[in-house]
Amino acid sequence: MKSVSVMEGDSVTLNTDITEVQKYLSIQWMFRSTRIAEVSRLTQTNLTYVGPDGRLRDRLKLDQTGSLTITNTRTTDSGLYKLSLISRETKCKSFNVTVCDDIHCCGFIEAVIRLALFALVGVATIAFLVYDVRSTRSELNRAEESRSHRQTVSLK
**Strands, sheet with 12-14, edge to edge from the N-terminal-most edge strand:** 12-14, 68-70, 60-62
Using alpha carbons, select from 6, 27, 26 the residue that is nearest to residue 72. Answer: 6
Positions of the chain with pLDDT under 70: 50-52, 102-107, 151-156
Rounded to whole angstroms, how far apart are CA atoms 155 and 56? 94
Confidence (pLDDT) at 103: 63
- Helix residue ranges per DSSP H, 10-107: none
The domain spans of the chain are: 2-100, 106-156
**Torsion angle of the four alpha carbons 107, 113, 117, 120, in this order, in degrees rounded to the nearest 10:** 140
d(CA 26, CA 53): 25
Which stretch of DSSP H or E encloses residue 13?
strand 12-14
Q: Which CATH number fits domain 2-100: 2.40.30.10, 2.60.40.10, 1.10.1740.10, 2.170.190.11?
A: 2.60.40.10
pTM: 0.63
**pLDDT on residue 47:** 77
The pLDDT score that the predictor gives to residue 105 is 60
Residues 6+ apart with CB under 8 A from 135: none
Residue 83: the pLDDT is 96
pLDDT at 140: 85
8-state DSSP, 15: -
Residue 123 φ/ψ, nearest 5 degrees: -65, -45
